[in-house]
Amino acid sequence: MSFEHILQSFAKEALLNVITSTELASKVDEKAEELSKKNPAYLYRKQPSPVQISFPAGLLTNSASVLHELGLATTFFTRSPFADIAHHWANVRYCGTLTATRKGMLALSRDGNERVVHHHKTAQSEHLGIGLALIVAKEVLRRTDKGWEFTAVDADVALKAGSIDGVGPVRQLEATKNRPDYFLIGRRRDGRSQQMKVVVLECKGTHEKHDRVLRQLAKACVQLQTVEVGNGVPPGLMIASSLSPEGITAHVLDPPGDENVWSGSQEQLDELLAEDPGESILQIREVTSGQAMDVEQRADVDRKHALIEHEGLSVIASETSADDDFRGPIEVVHIPEERRTWFMRVLARTAAASALLFAGDKSVATGYTTRRQRGAPSPDELPYEGLVYDGSASTPHAHHRLLDTNFTGAEYVMPLPDGRRLEVFRGLETQLYDLLADGKVGPYYRKASSKHKEWLGRSRRSRGSQNDVLSMQPNGTVLRMRIV
Could you please report the per-residue DSSP string of 208-237?
S-HHHHHHHHHHHHHHTTSEEETTBPPPEE
Q: How many angstroms separate the CA atoms of 182 and 177, rounded?
A: 12
For 261-313, write each residue's pLDDT tens digit. 888 888 888 988 988 877 654 322 222 222 233 333 333 333 333 333 444 45
Secondary structure class of 73 (helix, strand, coil): helix
Strands 236-242 and 195-206: parallel
Q: What number is the average pLDDT over the span 453-459?
A: 89
Average pLDDT score over residue span 241-270: 90
With CA atoms as reference, report the closest residue to 283 among 318, 317, 313, 328: 313
Which of 393, 331, 322 has its CA nearest to residue 360? 393
pLDDT for position 309: 40
Among 49-58, 177-186, 372-381, 392-401, the minimum mean pLDDT is found in: 372-381
Q: Best-predicted range by mean pLDDT among 11-15, 309-313, 390-394?
A: 11-15
Say if residue 385's pLDDT is above 50. Answer: no
- Strands 249-253 and 14-19 turn out to be parallel
* Residue-level pLDDT at 66: 94
Alpha helices in 359-480 (DSSP H): 362-366, 430-437, 441-461
**Global pTM value:** 0.86
Q: What is the pLDDT of residues 102-128, one digit of tens each?
A: 999 999 887 755 555 455 567 788 899
Most confident of 39-43, 313-317, 394-398: 39-43
Phi, psi (degrees; rounded to nearest 5) at 293: -85, 135
**In angstroms, what CA-CA distances link 394 with 78, 266, 409?**
12, 32, 11
Chain centroid offset of residue 380 CA: 32
- Other CB atoms within 10 Å distance of the CB of residue 161: 27
Least confident piece of the model among 287-291, 312-316, 436-440: 287-291
CA geometry: angle 431, 391, 201, nearest 5 deg: 70
pLDDT per position as a tens digit, 41-94: 888 889 999 999 989 999 999 999 999 999 999 887 666 666 677 777 777 778
Q: What is the pLDDT of residue 90?
A: 72
